[in-house]
Amino acid sequence: MNNWLEKLRSANFYQILVHLTVVVLTVEVFVLAKQNRELKLGGGLQNQVEIKVGDPLSLGDLVPLTSQDPMDSSGNQLLYMFTTTCPFCKQNIRSWEDLNSMALEKHVPVLGICLDTPEKAKRFVAENQITYKVYVPRDHAKFREEQRINSVPATILRTHDGHASRIWMGILHSEQMKEIEEGISVGHNPLINQRRKQ
């Protein structure tokens, strides 16, 4: 018993205890930081229902940010959903600009939808020299919930009757770019008809 008390009092034991405490705290800080980052990027929403091909996608609550022209919903539309704080959205900007050029050639309107306040969206558009039309929802939290947009960036081909025809989540790579170009050209996805029949 006396030996154990002596060890407790020794400087070496206290140093070991302090080091163990620091290691445990460091691990906890790392885990909490990772969870916080996932929540900010939408990772904490994985268990919620996400928009799927064939689901309705309403754009009635959008306010034009960069153009006062009326929204053209007579045909298919290519939609870019993003936020100003999402690093992956920023990585998609050049790809979205390239797709904008392709879509214009096929007479498919392109709409950027920023899920942030108009002030943040205007700054983001100006800083990143975005050329396609950008809209903001009147209430971006409500829009995300109602349209089931639980993560960004999202690139969505929407049909003239208001359904999500094709959906690409995350950073666009060359394969997705080809798929989107084909989707713009074809203009519809047979999966929608199958889904509606179910």
The 10s digit of each residue's pLDDT in 92-142 is 999 999 999 999 999 999 999 999 999 999 999 999 999 999 999 999 889
Burial of 133: CB neighbours in 10 Å, binned 0-12, 13-18, 19+: buried
Nearest-angstrom CA–CA distance, 183 and 157: 7
- Strand 110-114 and strand 77-82: the pairing is parallel
Return the CATH number of the domain spanning residue range 51-197: 3.40.30.10
Eight-state DSSP code of residue 43: G
pLDDT tens, position by position, 74-84: 789 999 999 99
Residue that wins the pLDDT comparison between 39 and 110: 110
